[in-house]
Chain A
């Protein structure tokens, strides 16, 4: 059929060669009407607004493995960040159109600009529009459109709708660009376009197709809004030219009944006669292109909701899905579901209440002059009848039902990046599911599957794929074999996977490559932390290179404090490595080297410190001390000896900060290397030193040291004597510093200490070291008695 023939052949709309169905994106009402209209028209070719590069993917629609909500993802393989999504829900008219065609084995294709153009660098201006492409034209250039007055009245005339209720004309015009049917609905006094569609469009039409009327309305609206300018308008012109060209191509192929499903806004310019092809070809000429890859990715209802700031701009996907799926009595079914949800949250809702809620919703609809209760009415009824006016309870319903947590599924056969395939296979093997709702997972690393899961999560973290994040467990449990993770899959992670795919084809290879790439230029501390993470992620290849880098960096880094910062992470890594059955010999050697270098430089690093630096060094010494303890457990006892020897040599130095002196003494006391602790305390606190120095010493010595103080009568007596011997002025000076130290003790510890002091050294109830709760104290006392009986 030639175009000339086409132009003469458009008089009979129902059987014309081209039929345009202007829909509301993601509108269940449009979707239902559309299916009926397609049945009536029986096209031999269906064209849907969307990127034609994705045509090959349409064969998956109808596959039981492809479950909406899903989105078409198009990305530039060499720059995956350049990506765009076209989301589809079960109730999207576009989805239903494709499904209709697939089920009847009718030719189906997309007719918008290809993603190759929209993602091209010069096409970037189109992207904003195309990424929410199913939303139709962007509405940001409102200033340029709709300056003509009288738009509202024309719309009113067209639809016989009442005057807008408090809607202001500018906002209306803005809306007209973004959601033209929404604008008409608002002009008709409706807050929900779906409801307007139900009431006005479908209600008025006595079951005949609503699309001719929509077409007419949009034609009117486009005339009123007038010629638009600017880059968006340019993009829009291109899109519409492309659509027309695609229709022409289909007709040239010999199709006789072409159904075009597009945003209502575009409908008027796609109807026959299409006019000559030359201007459109000119519009499209010279558009830049780039290579893009398309795939299906799972999507969620939450992403469809406007509240998430991204997506197709509908606020109640759950409600729409319900409207589309409920075969009859949508209000009753909805309120029953709401009652079920509330009961699930232990809020008692009787069937009688549901009946009352239905009645209220219907009465409200009547009162508001609407033929059927909509979301507003059922929400009012839910709040008033089922939730007793409680907004909080209502919010549960909103979150769970009105938005609705639903995650689509994509079959394994859909072509995708190798990394995604590997990730999918791994998650399947490890029996993990990618779910949109956050949930926490407790892992027991002694079990093989949990260990592998943990490794997967750590690898994904190295790849900056934020699916799993470490969390604190609800269960009180300590032990290095336990890990808790919080899992939540966001659809955008699909992009992150594609981005990460540049690093390798499997998760392990990609993570290793990624670590290798960042080794260069990292500080020692960062390297040590990466070592730890690599070990947790079980990346032995990366570990070797990392350790080599660590050793190099340690040799180059002259700052002892940097070495000290790196030691704990490495020592922890060595320790956890054992739990995981990794070979950590190299790791231990590296950490031992670091400790030795620290020992060598510590004396230099601790001279002439001010108060703040002293605190920092104190913390580092503590951390290294703990790390050395870990290493010693691994058999490196000579390292521990060397470390303690260094501390012992340091502690005698007069120029050491009092805080450090106290701290080192304490560490040595704990290690039982100081036989004369009382004498040292007495010396440190005697008349010779200033009050502030004494207090700093006490702080260093007694931080976290309540147990020692409670159990060592000589030490306690010494301290007691020192406090009692302070002059009034001295006491006032020292009090804040001492108070600061003792403030870190738990209430129970302080009480035990006070009791000991009050009763002299008589044996009171045995104090409990960690002081969890005073209720526990009697229990602990009993336990102690038993233990003592056992010892005696």
Chain B
């Protein structure tokens, strides 16, 4: 499964569009591993790093030997500590939050840092079946040989149990309730019975589940209280201040442009800050100085959206512009991100432009660009 994800920098182009976290940050993980060994920090069974190093891997820092660990999660260290501590206990971890609050991102990096493998993944959809959580069958072999271990197709959860590794369940609340409940036995008994073979798979130490869920989305299946009791909940908040959000956007945009092999574009910090400011103001329903009330559009204006707007702008600037990120490059993206409902959102956006943007010193070019693309 992991064989295809190796970097093959033959012509400077990565072999895959988006390498797994454990591949992309292999150097940092190795450094932390060495650091753990040096310091003699205790590691829970089958953990690649000590809990302390996992937290450091997530929030960043500089090790004693000078290795700089980049911040994967920009925000409260306390939250990450709770998340990591949870994984060492009997309970599974549930990351809750609005769209774009880095739930999946954190979950991937946790799995990479703890188990060295972030690929044991169940993607929750309304069509997710019980086989994805328990096990399925290779029907050709099943018909030919009857129920044998070879005919069994294990789910990522089952693999995680056998290996003693972290398994991720994305968008848990999109999975139908009856399928969700299949997790209960796994999480409480730590055993997955396979009656057809007359055996069971018992989880080895190191196994645990990280689930993510959107707490403000339509069409979700609420968790049953029985399942909920198996999880410790960590709510990931929206970034609290502009500086944090600008940092998040800047870092991620840099990562993305590198992996998309976009030509280098001098990204003006000013443009990124502008996009973040617009998003924050529209989201909060009030301008940054707190003096003007603004109508909030229906779109979820998360940091993830801001990242995509800026990346999109960079692509425009690189291929069609003069290689410098200009207001016009982000304008079209921002309009597309904000205006999801053609009537209500368009009006809210127009008002915001005329009332807030036009009056703001230094935002003239941006205003013109937005006017043109609206």
A and B: bona fide binding partners: yes
Task: Name the A residues within 8 Å of B96 (CB-CB).
Answer: 389
Residue in B closest to A379 when the chains form the complex, CB atoms: B78
Q: Does A352 contact B (CB under 8 A)?
A: yes
Q: Are B78 and A367 in contact (CB under 8 A)?
A: no
User: How far is A384 from B89 in the complex, measured between Cα atoms in Å?
Assistant: 13
Residue in A closest to B234 when the chains form the complex, CB atoms: A384
Which candidate, B26-34, B80-88, B285-293, is the interface stretch facing chain A? B80-88
Among A353, A367, A385, contact of B81 (Cβ-Cβ < 8 Å): A367
Distance of B50 from chain A, by nearest CB (Å): 9
Distance of A166 from chain B, by nearest CB (Å): 11
Q: Are B91 and A389 in contact (CB under 8 A)?
A: no
Q: Does A359 contact B (CB under 8 A)?
A: yes
Q: Count A-B contacts at CB 8 Å.
A: 57
Contact string, A377-402, partner B, CB cutoff 8 A, digits 1/0? 00011011101110100000000000
Q: Does B308 contact A (CB under 8 A)?
A: no
Q: Are B78 and A376 in contact (CB under 8 A)?
A: yes
Task: Name the B residues within 8 Å of A348 (CB-CB).
Answer: 225
Q: Does B70 contact A (CB under 8 A)?
A: no
Task: Name the B residues within 8 Å of A356 (CB-CB).
Answer: 89-91, 232
Task: Name the B residues within 8 Å of A488 (CB-CB).
Answer: none
Q: Does A574 contact B (CB under 8 A)?
A: no
Task: Name the B residues within 8 Å of A364 (CB-CB).
Answer: 81-82, 85
Considering the complex, which residues of chain A in the window 467-514 have a beta carbon less than 8 Å from any beta carbon of chain B?
Answer: none
User: How far is A359 from B88 in the complex, measured between Cα atoms in Å?
Assistant: 9
Contact string, B215-258, partner A, CB cutoff 8 A, digits 1/0? 00000000001001100111100000000000000000000000
User: How far is A348 from B229 in the complex, measured between Cα atoms in Å?
Assistant: 10
Q: Does B164 contact A (CB under 8 A)?
A: no
Q: Does A282 contact B (CB under 8 A)?
A: no
Q: Are B85 and A360 in contact (CB under 8 A)?
A: yes
User: How far is A670 from B238 in the complex, measured between Cα atoms in Å?
Assistant: 63
Q: Are A360 and B91 in contact (CB under 8 A)?
A: yes
User: How far is A589 from B92 in the complex, measured between Cα atoms in Å?
Assistant: 79
Q: Does B276 contact A (CB under 8 A)?
A: no
On whether A367 and B85 interact (CB within 8 A), knowing A356-B91, A360-B91, A376-B78, the answer reads yes
Among A359, A369, A388, contact of B233 (Cβ-Cβ < 8 Å): A388
Contact string, B42-53, partner A, CB cutoff 8 A, digits 1/0? 000000000110
Q: Does A350 contact B (CB under 8 A)?
A: yes
Task: Name the B residues within 8 Å of A383 (CB-CB).
Answer: 82, 233
Q: Does A368 contact B (CB under 8 A)?
A: yes
Contact string, A634-678, partner B, CB cutoff 8 A, digits 1/0? 000000000000000000000000000000000000000000000
Q: Does B55 contact A (CB under 8 A)?
A: yes
Task: Name the A residues within 8 Å of B225 (CB-CB).
Answer: 348
- Chain A contact residues, majority secondary structure: helix
Distance of A364 from chain B, by nearest CB (Å): 5
Among B51, B84, B94, B229, contact of A353 (Cβ-Cβ < 8 Å): B229
Residue in B closest to A391 when the chains form the complex, CB atoms: B235
Contact string, B38-79, partner A, CB cutoff 8 A, digits 1/0? 000000000000011001000000000000000000000010
Residue in A closest to B89 when the chains form the complex, CB atoms: A359
Task: Name the B residues within 8 Å of A747 (CB-CB).
Answer: none
Task: Name the A residues within 8 Å of B51 (CB-CB).
Answer: 363, 366-367
Residue in A closest to B50 when the chains form the complex, CB atoms: A367
Distance of B63 from chain A, by nearest CB (Å): 16
Q: Are B55 and A367 in contact (CB under 8 A)?
A: yes
User: How far is A36 from B232 in the complex, measured between Cα atoms in Å?
Assistant: 40
User: How far is A384 from B85 in the complex, measured between Cα atoms in Å?
Assistant: 11
Task: Name the B residues within 8 Å of A363 (CB-CB).
Answer: 51, 85-86, 88-89
Task: Name the B residues within 8 Å of A353 (CB-CB).
Answer: 229
Task: Name the A residues within 8 Å of B89 (CB-CB).
Answer: 356, 359-360, 363
On whether A385 and B228 interact (CB within 8 A), knowing A364-B82, A364-B85, the answer reads no
Q: Are B229 and A384 in contact (CB under 8 A)?
A: no
Q: Are A367 and B52 in contact (CB under 8 A)?
A: yes
User: How far is A352 from B228 in the complex, measured between Cα atoms in Å?
Assistant: 13
User: How far is A367 from B55 in the complex, measured between Cα atoms in Å?
Assistant: 9
Q: Are A384 and B90 in contact (CB under 8 A)?
A: no
Distance of B198 from chain A, by nearest CB (Å): 31
User: How far is A376 from B55 in the complex, measured between Cα atoms in Å?
Assistant: 17
Among B81, B85, B234, contact of A389 (Cβ-Cβ < 8 Å): B234
Interface size on A, as a range, is: 20 to 34
Interface size on B, as a range, is: 20 to 34
On whether A384 and B86 interact (CB within 8 A), knowing A356-B91, A367-B52, A367-B55, the answer reads yes
Task: Name the A residues within 8 Å of B86 (CB-CB).
Answer: 360, 363, 384
Among B52, B88, B228, B233, contact of A384 (Cβ-Cβ < 8 Å): B233
Distance of A331 from chain B, by nearest CB (Å): 14
User: How far is A381 from B51 in the complex, measured between Cα atoms in Å?
Assistant: 17
Residue in B closest to A352 when the chains form the complex, CB atoms: B229
Residue in B closest to A364 when the chains form the complex, CB atoms: B85
User: How far is A383 from B232 in the complex, measured between Cα atoms in Å?
Assistant: 9
Residue in B closest to A355 when the chains form the complex, CB atoms: B90
Task: Name the B residues within 8 Å of A389 (CB-CB).
Answer: 94, 96, 233-235
Q: Are A360 and B81 in contact (CB under 8 A)?
A: no
User: How far is A750 from B225 in the complex, measured between Cα atoms in Å?
Assistant: 49
User: How far is A412 from B107 in the complex, measured between Cα atoms in Å?
Assistant: 62
Task: Name the A residues within 8 Å of B85 (CB-CB).
Answer: 360, 363-364, 367
Distance of B85 from chain A, by nearest CB (Å): 4
User: How far is A364 from B234 in the complex, measured between Cα atoms in Å?
Assistant: 14
Task: Name the B residues within 8 Å of A367 (CB-CB).
Answer: 51-52, 55, 81, 84-85
Q: Are B55 and A359 in contact (CB under 8 A)?
A: no
Q: Which of B52, B55, B81, B96 has the most CB of A within 10 A?
A: B81
Task: Name the A residues within 8 Å of B55 (CB-CB).
Answer: 367
User: How far is A389 from B97 in the complex, measured between Cα atoms in Å?
Assistant: 10
Task: Name the B residues within 8 Å of A376 (CB-CB).
Answer: 78
Distance of A46 from chain B, by nearest CB (Å): 41
User: How far is A211 from B315 in the complex, measured between Cα atoms in Å?
Assistant: 66
Residue in B closest to A376 when the chains form the complex, CB atoms: B78
User: How far is A349 from B86 in the complex, measured between Cα atoms in Å?
Assistant: 18
Task: Name the B residues within 8 Å of A368 (CB-CB).
Answer: 81
Residue in A closest to B96 when the chains form the complex, CB atoms: A389
Residue in B closest to A359 when the chains form the complex, CB atoms: B89
Residue in A closest to B55 when the chains form the complex, CB atoms: A367
Task: Name the B residues within 8 Å of A381 (CB-CB).
Answer: 82
Q: Which of B52, B55, B85, B225 has the most CB of A within 10 A?
A: B85
Q: Which of A352, A376, A385, A389 has the most CB of B within 10 A?
A: A389
User: How far is A364 from B232 in the complex, measured between Cα atoms in Å?
Assistant: 13
Task: Name the A residues within 8 Å of B91 (CB-CB).
Answer: 356, 360, 385
User: How far is A364 from B79 in the complex, measured between Cα atoms in Å?
Assistant: 11
Distance of B94 from chain A, by nearest CB (Å): 8
Among A350, A360, A380, A391, contact of B229 (Cβ-Cβ < 8 Å): A350
Distance of B357 from chain A, by nearest CB (Å): 33
User: How far is A384 from B236 in the complex, measured between Cα atoms in Å?
Assistant: 11
Task: Name the B residues within 8 Å of A352 (CB-CB).
Answer: 229
Residue in A closest to B232 when the chains form the complex, CB atoms: A384
User: How far is A359 from B90 in the complex, measured between Cα atoms in Å?
Assistant: 9
Contact string, B96-114, partner A, CB cutoff 8 A, digits 1/0? 1000000000000000000
Residue in B closest to A165 when the chains form the complex, CB atoms: B77
User: How far is A367 from B88 in the complex, measured between Cα atoms in Å?
Assistant: 10
Q: Are A380 and B233 in contact (CB under 8 A)?
A: no
On whether A388 and B228 interact (CB within 8 A), knowing A360-B85, A364-B81, A367-B85, the answer reads yes
Could you write out 19 A-B pairs with CB less than 8 Å apart? A350-B229, A356-B89, A356-B232, A359-B90, A360-B89, A360-B91, A363-B86, A363-B89, A364-B81, A364-B82, A367-B52, A367-B81, A367-B84, A368-B81, A376-B78, A383-B233, A384-B86, A389-B233, A389-B234
Nearest 7 Cβ contacts at the A-B interface: A389-B233, A389-B235, A363-B85, A384-B232, A364-B85, A388-B233, A359-B89
Beyond the given A360-B232, A389-B233, please list 4 additional residue pairs across the A-B interface where CB-CB is below 8 A.
A367-B52, A367-B84, A384-B86, A389-B94
> B: which residues have CB within 8 A of A?
51-52, 55, 78, 81-82, 84-86, 88-91, 94, 96, 225, 228-229, 232-235
> A: which residues have CB within 8 A of B?
348, 350, 352-353, 356, 359-360, 363-364, 366-369, 376, 380-381, 383-385, 387-389, 391
